[in-house]
Structure 1
Amino acid sequence: MKVVLYGASGNAGQRIYEELKARGHEVTAVVRNPEKLAAGVKSKSDDLSSADRIAEIIAGADAVISAYAPPQNDTDQLIGVTERQIEAVSKAGNPRLIVVGGAGSLEVAPGVTLLESGHLPAPWVPIATSHAKALALLEASDINWTYFSPAAFFEPGERTGKYRLGSRSLIANDKGESRISMEDYAIALVDELEKPSYEKARFTIGY
């Protein structure tokens, strides 16, 4: 497939890029500073400030993957970026949009999200709140979107290929730990790209 990957130089983005390439997909990495990417990487420069520019970049793609991460001191930039991505996807002929999401909007009890539970550490509340707003924008849109929430702890680690998937509830192990490596997350994301099960829906992953 022809895939446009935003945020390809980030922690999650790098691993998604590697997984896509390993499976033979044609990937265009989109970052602010392409000179920071390895030699030979097909890339374009964009700061996600213009829906028209995004539409121009993604024209002809089968899918767009957004691993965009907003600045920690202004997480609500994610909301404007999501609005522009939705507009751009519509303008570009509706390629599929897969978003690297957050865990805060996952349920930890019936009808109670992690964000609402009071158990989320205070430093994580702003980004979790912004992600929840971005998810609401996708749910209200007419595009073909997928929102992929990681586990609560989402860090570089091992590529094991062993994990569990779910839909709306936080996945935790028998010790109550909710974790996933970025490497295993990338496997599941590319699996979903190749064999869709969650179009116009959100899903999640954990050990």
Structure 2
Amino acid sequence: MKIAVLGATGWIGGTVAAEVQQRGHELIALVRDPAKFTLDAEARRADSLDPASLAQALEGVELLIASIGGRASGRHDMVAESARALLEALPRTGVKRLLWVGGAGSLEVAPGTTLLSLPDFPAEYKDEALAQGQALDVFCHADTPVDWTFVSPAAEIFPGERSGHYRLGGDQLLTDAEGHSRISVQDYAKALVDEAEAGQHPRRRIGVAY
């Protein structure tokens, strides 16, 4: 499959790009600066807020994985704006499927109670979590032909190892027997590419954790 990864020079996006390539798919990296992409694959310049540049960069692509964050630029509003731009651009490109690297803050820890709403949610991640929640709202309320899947990691995602094991959930936060919600970025990437290959959860959010 010809898979494009938007944001392939980022931490999660780069790990996902490597997983795509290791699984034998044809990788296209969509980045703002192709010179910064280090894997042996085609890199194309693209801007997540520019539907015209996206349409050109997605030529020949079968599936898009988008890893968008506003922390580096200090523009968290760009996350939901990028979701809207992608849903606008994709129907004109022939790309029918989109996997979105989501956040954990909007996952429920109890009915009607999100992780983000807890008083001990880390303040330094609140803006990022709010932005991802807004992006999820964009997807859930969009009238679009795009088969999107919003993939939320566990509450803690960390650099570790690729064990190959994980659990899938829905809108509820997954925790282990000790009450922890964790996933390595490598296993999160595996889960994301597994979903890219299987396409079992269109038009919904899924969660990934140990």
TM-score (norm 2): 0.93
Quote the Cα distance in structure 2 between the aligned partners of 1:71 and 1:127. 7
> Identity of aligned pairs, percent?
38
> Which residue is 2:55 aligned to?
55
Q: Tell me, in whole angstroms, the C-alpha distance in 1 between the residues paired with 2:132 and 2:96.
A: 21
Structure 1 pair 39/137, CA: closer, same or farther in 2 (3 Å)?
closer
1:130 partnered with 2:135: no
Match of 2:87 in 1: 86
CA distance in 1, matches of 2:52, 2:82: 12
- The CA deviation at 1:205 is 0.9
Cα root mean square deviation, aligned: 1.4
Q: Which amino acid is 2:42 matched to?
A: K
Q: CA deviation at 1:174?
A: 2.0
2:103, 2:129 within 8 Å by CA — same for their partners in 1?
Answer: yes
Relative to 1, partners in 2 of residues 1:206 and 1:56: Cα closer, same or farther, differing over 3 Å?
A: same
**1:203 partnered with 2:202:** no
1:180 alignment counterpart? 183
The answer (yes or no) to whether the contact 2:61–2:95 under 8 Å persists in 1 is no
Structure 1: distance between partners of 2:192 and 2:128: 21
Segment of structure 1 superposing worse, 43-52 or 21-30: 43-52
Which deviates the most, 41-50 or 141-150? 41-50
What is the one-letter code of the residue matched to 1:169?
A: Q
Q: Distance in 2 between matches of 1:95 and 1:40?
A: 26
CA distance in 2, matches of 1:27, 1:162: 24
Q: Deviations over 1:136-168 (max 9, x none)?
A: 101122121000000011121110012211011
Counterpart Cα distance in 2 of 1:93 and 1:140: 22
Shift in Å, 1:84: 0.7
Structure 2 unaligned residues grouped into runs of 5+: none
Give the drift of 1:59.
3.0
Q: Is the partner of 2:150 in helix, strand or coil?
A: strand
- 2:39 maps to 1:36: no
Question: Is the CA contact (8 Å cut-off) linking 2:47 and 2:53 kept in structure 1?
Answer: no
Residue of structure 2 in register with 1:96 after alignment: 97
Q: What does the per-residue CA deviation read over 1:62-104, in whole Å, with 9 as the maximum and x for residues that have no partner?
A: 1100012213532111121111111111221342010000001
Structure 2: which amino acid aligns with 1:49? Answer: L
| Inter-partner Cα distance in structure 1 for 2:169 and 2:207 | 5
Q: Partners of 1:145 and 1:99 in 2: how far apart? A: 7
